[in-house]
Structure 1
Amino acid sequence: MNKMKNAEKLGTRKFVLWREVVMAYVSPALMAGIGGLITGDRGLQLGALTTIGGTSALIALMLGLWLRTRGGSMDQSWMLRVPHLLVVVIFGLGGGMLGLVAAWAISDCLSSMISIGHMAWVQRIPIDFPLSGVIASVIITWRWRKTVKSNRQN
C-alpha cells in the first residue's frame, strides 16, 4: 500500500492487466448490449455478453500479457519511438486480423463437426470476432503506451 502511494506521488502509473481486461470486456459488451436493446435484436444482446465481450477480453488478455513482458523490456522499442496513434492503428489492424482468422477457423471447425444451421450465434462470429479484436487491441495498446510513456518521462 505504501509503494502505491509513493508511486502516485511521483506521478508514475502501473499497467494493471486485470483492470484493462475488464474494461476491454465491459466497454464493447455494454455498447453492443445497448444497441441490442434499442433495436430489439436478441442476437446482439446475447452476442454482447458472449462473442463480442468474451472475444474482446481474451484478445486483451493475450495482448496485455505480451505487451507487459515483451513491450516493457524493450528500451529502444519502435513502439515507443513512433507516434502513439500509429502504434494503436498497427495493433488495431493486427487485432482485427487475429479476430478474422479466429472467426474463420472456428466457423469452419464448427460447421465440419456439427450442423450449425440452427445456431444463430455462429453466424455472428465473422463480424463479432474481428470487431472485438480491433476494440480490444486499441484499448489495451492505447492505455499501455500511455502508461509506459508517462512513466519514462518521470
Structure 2
Amino acid sequence: MNRIESADKREGASHIASAGSGANDFVLWREVAMAYASPAVMAGIGGLVTADKGLQIAALTTIGGASALVAWMLGLWLRSLGGKSRWVAGANRVVVTGAFALGGAAFGLFAAWAIPYLFGIVRPFDHAAWLDRIWFDFPLSGTIASTIITWRWRLAVRKNFSFKGEERR
C-alpha cells in the first residue's frame, strides 16, 4: 500500500492529495488568505492612487472581508462536496469557474440587499457610510473570491487526478 492509499483510508477519500507526497495542494486557509489579500491590496492601491480614504478602509473591511467569507464558504463546499458533483468535477474549468463567479456575484447582491435590513433592525437611527459601498463591494468581492477559489480548486483536481477520478501515477 502506498502513501496515498493509506492517507485515503486515514482521512477519507474526499480530500485532494498530491500524487507524490501525500500533501494537500488545496489548503483552505491559504486560499482564503489569497482571496482576502488579492482584492484588498488592489483596492488599497486604488485608494492610495485616488486619495480616497473610504476606499482604503473598505479595502480592508468590506472588500477583503466579503472576499474571505465567500472564499471560505465556497472552499468548504468544494473540499467536501465539490468532487462528488459530476458537473463540477468533469466540466470545462472555464465554464465551472464562470458559473461560480456568477453565483458569487448573486450571493454578493443578496448580501448587499439583506445587510441594510438587518442593520436597520439592530440600529434603527444609525447610518454608517459603509452601507453605501456594499452594493458595489459585495458582488465584486463575491465574484473575485469565487473565481480564485474555483480556479485553484479545479487546478488541484486536474493536477492530482485523471478525468475519470482515478489517481495519476
Report the counterpart of residue 64 of structure 2 in structure 1. 53
Structure-1 residue corresponding to 2:125? 115
Aligned counterpart, 1:72: 83
Query: What is aligned with 2:90?
Result: 81
Q: Secondary structure at the match of 2:157?
A: helix
The CA deviation at 1:121 is 1.2
- Return the offset for 1:7: 4.2
**Secondary structure at 1:14 match in 2:** coil
**TM-score (norm. length: structure 1):** 0.87
Determine the structure 1 residue equivalent to 2:105: 96
Q: Is the 8 A contact 1:17 1:64 kept in 2?
A: yes
State the shift of 1:141 in Å.
0.2
Kept in 2, the 8 Å contact 1:88–1:141? The answer is yes
* Alignment partner of 1:44 is 2:52: no
2:137 is equivalent to residue 133 of structure 1: no
Structure 1 segments unaligned to the other structure (5+ residues)? none
Please say if residues 24 and 57 of structure 1, whose CA atoms lie closer than 8 Å, have aligned partners that are also in contact: yes
Aligned partners of 1:12 and 1:150 also within 8 Å: no
Counting matched residue pairs gives 148
Q: Of residues 88, 106, 115 in structure 2, which corresponds to 1:106?
A: 115
Offset at residue 70 of structure 1 (A): 0.2
Deviation at 1:12, TM superposition (A): 7.8
Q: Are the counterparts in 2 of residues 47 and 121 from structure 1 also a CA contact under 8 Å?
A: yes
Taking only aligned residues, the RMSD between alpha carbons, in angstroms, comes to 2.2
The equivalent of 2:152 in structure 1 is: 143
Separation in 2, partners of 1:93, 1:13: 27
Q: Secondary structure at the match of 1:72?
A: helix
CA distance in 2, matches of 1:105, 1:47: 19
Give the C-alpha shift of residue 80 in structure 1: 2.3
Q: What percent of counterpart residues are identical?
A: 55
- Answer 1 or 2: which has greater helix percent: 1
Shift in CA distance, 148/138, structure 1 to aligned 2, threshold 3 Å = same
